[in-house]
Amino acid sequence: MVTVPWNQTNQQHVVDVELISEDGQPVQVPVAPEAVQPLHARLAFNVGRPPGLTVGDDQHVCLAANLPGLPMPSLGKYEFIIRVDGHDERRLPYRVMPAPGTQIAAGPAAPSGPAQLPSI
């Protein structure tokens, strides 16, 4: 949801959404066979002043973007960066973790015996 101050209604605004990994690099997503690019969503909007709105009242706009099947390159921390009209407004961090009950190999097996997977 974006709050638009009274003096910025009846103007074009742009919300940009980007996704970065924990090392600060843009997350690359497939856009075509054999082609990737950084995840980026751009949403443009303009909100007016409806009749009866009191001078100085803010307007609220709800926006949504579909990110179907967003492939995450690895487990770890990620962050969505939300910008409104070019200004950073919010950072939404989250962590991609293995599903409950998933076992992850801890490296190559020791030469003296069978591989042992740690339980998570």
pLDDT tens per residue across span 54-91: 999 999 999 988 876 677 888 999 999 999 999 999 99
CA atoms within 13 A on the CB side of 75: 5
The model carries a pTM of: 0.74
What is the band of 107 on the pLDDT scale with cuts at 50, 70, 90? low
**114 vs 30: which has the higher pLDDT:** 30
pLDDT over 90 at 113, yes or no: no
Would you list the domain boundaries of the chain? 2-96
Residue-wise pLDDT for 30-46, tens only, equals: 888 888 889 999 999 99
Q: What is the pLDDT of residue 52?
A: 86
Determine the residue type at 77: K
Question: What are the φ and ψ backbone dihedral angles of 96, each rounded to 5 degrees?
Answer: -90, 120
Calculate what percentage of the chain has a pLDDT beyond 70: 84
**DSSP 8-class letter at 35:** E
Find the length of the chain: 120
